[in-house]
Amino acid sequence: LTFCTHDLWALANFSAKVGGSGIDIRSKARTVNGPITDASQLPKWNYDGSSTGQAPGEDSEVILYPQAIFKDPFRRGDNLLVMCDCYTPQGVPIPTNKRHNAAKIFNTPNVAAEETWYGIEQEYTLLQKDVNWPLGWPIGGYPGPQGPYYCAAGADKAFGRDIVDAHYKACLYAGINISGINGEVMPGQWEFQVGPSVGIAASDQLWVARYILERITEVAGVVLSLDPKPIPGDWNGAGAHTNYSTKSMREAGGYGVIKTAIEKLGKRHAQHIAAYGEGNERRLTGHHETADINTFKWGVADRGASIRVGRDTEKDGKGYFEDRRPASNMDPYVVTSMIAETTLLL
């Protein structure tokens, strides 16, 4: 078993790295008697929190609580990846454990009854090791301007497809609901989509998909970046657009429910922006398919809006909407639960 958790690592000592604290994910492995069919069958475990800046040396144990299991695409066979969250020995969630609060929100009766669906579009950039410059770019130089790279094919336009396809296949094997991949507008940048998935499962799956991608780039000798604006200037940033719907939105008359939800999101724009990822002000400039970080607006088929509603949703009078504000380094537990809280509990 490989026990994974994102929330035990990356505190202040990682604050200068991609996305700041809470963005990376670490793991260690152990052998248990099987077969295992549910996370509840697994024992708790621990790690040295003093080595991650999360506990003092004289009381260093942080406890791993298994929460979700996936087939291990690396060891295969009966091996599993286990998503965990982290607690003190007294059972108190540590400060970086964002899953705990998300689970409380998703287990709230009003939220559970609405069967919240999420589809998360995870953008990322592949960097050349040692130089931290996008894959396929000349070292110290720039490729041709954006235009020919989005969803492109060819050795001069698509850089890193072997990594992207290996990740796609590994996620499918693991049981992650990965729904697609595509090359992005900036060369060396790609996207994968997770969902639609219900409630907290969307975040569990996105974190494990990120972990699998990190492992594959490790083998390839390439660096994975979730920085929301890895290259300054006239280059697209990287986001994690979050598509969302509730049962009421998906039923007849749902368009009115969608508009009410968007109005609620607008009233809490500042709070959402504060929770939607580090460095997002470098990305949300009002250019490169974004709305300005200080402005909230929504529109149909408008990729320069904070919230985009699809043409089909408008036509059908029901469906979903897309929150385009989250940065690529956002914590999905925070973002998904906050959207549910704002639209269903406030």
Going along the chain from its start, the domains and CATH numbers come out as 6-95 (3.10.20.70), 107-345 (3.30.590.10)
Mean pLDDT within 49-77: 88
The yes-or-no verdict on residue 126 having pLDDT over 70 is yes
Mean pLDDT within 52-81: 89
Our CA dihedral for 138, 139, 145, 146, rounded to 10 degrees, sits at: 90
Which of helix, strand or coil describes residue 111?
Answer: helix
What pLDDT is attached to residue 24? 75
Question: Cα–Cα distance between 244 and 246 in angstroms, integer?
Answer: 7
Helix (H) or strand (E) holding 100: helix 98-106
Residue 83 pairs in a beta bridge with: 4, 68
Question: Cα–Cα distance between 291 and 189 in angstroms, integer?
Answer: 20
- The predicted-structure confidence for 170-219, as pLDDT tens digits, reads as follows 999 999 999 999 999 999 999 999 999 999 999 999 999 999 999 999 99
Ranked by mean pLDDT, the top range of 15-24, 33-42, 118-127 is 118-127
21-30, 56-65, 183-192, 288-297: segment of lowest average pLDDT = 21-30
26-29 and 2-5 beta bridge pairing: antiparallel
The yes-or-no verdict on residue 323 having pLDDT over 80 is yes
DSSP 87: E
Which of helix, strand or coil describes residue 323?
Answer: strand
The yes-or-no verdict on residue 11 having pLDDT over 50 is no
The yes-or-no verdict on residue 139 having pLDDT over 70 is yes
326: which 2 tokens?
């989250």
Q: What is the pTM of this model?
A: 0.93
Question: Cα–Cα distance between 73 and 117 in angstroms, integer?
Answer: 26
Length of the chain: 346
Which of helix, strand or coil describes residue 82?
Answer: strand
- The predicted-structure confidence for 29-52, as pLDDT tens digits, reads as follows 888 888 899 999 999 999 888 887
What pLDDT is attached to residue 3? 63
Which of helix, strand or coil describes residue 177?
Answer: coil
Residue 35 and residue 41 in contact, taking contact as beta carbons nearer than 8 Å: no
